[in-house]
Amino acid sequence: MSKPKILVVEDNLMNLELVSDVLEAHGYEVLQADTGQKALEIAGKELPDLVLMDIQLPEMDGLEVTRLLKINELTSGIKVIALTAHAMRGDEERAREAGCSGYIAKPINTREFAGVIAGYLGEAQTDPGGKVD
């Protein structure tokens, strides 16, 4: 079974590295984009299993990027999960209207994050290694 491929879209490079490190530590293949334009290019070329989409991005925001992914036949089937630092009233609805399947608030909880991602990918949420650290 090949590793699920996850595209992380985040303009804050510290967050981009943190999220990528956690995912890689759990065996995912990680692709990175720090702008919406790069995200569209990489998603179209690599067809990841999941996109983690920062909503606040320079130029094109994450909601717009999600809408563009969803209207493109090639990428419309890719699940997009919103990532946002501002868990404000209405954000989740806006993310869902744009086509996101879920919503994760930043800062991420590094202990729970991989389990949440596995849930979105439809995988078992238990760690087969049984690590309890």
Cβ nearer to Mn ion, comparing 16 with 30: 16
Which of 4/18 has CB closer to Mn ion?
18
From the CB of 15, what's the least distance to Mn ion, in Å? 7
CB of residue 63 vs Mn ion: minimum separation in angstroms? Answer: 12
Q: How far is CA 61 from the centre of its chain?
A: 14
Which residue lies nearer to Mn ion by CB, 50 or 106? 106
Shortest Cβ 83–Mn ion spacing (Å): 8
| Helix, strand, coil percentages for the chain (3-state, nearest 5) | 40, 20, 45
Residue 125 falls in which region: left (phi positive, over 0), alpha (psi -120 to 50) or beta: alpha
Least separation in angstroms between CB 10 and Mn ion? 6
CB of 52 closer than 8 Å to CB of 104: yes
Which residue's CB is nearer to Mn ion, number 49 or number 54?
54
Return the C-alpha torsion angle 101, 99, 113, 3, nearest 10. 90
Question: What is the contact surface with Mn ion in residues (CB under 5 A)?
Answer: 11, 54, 56
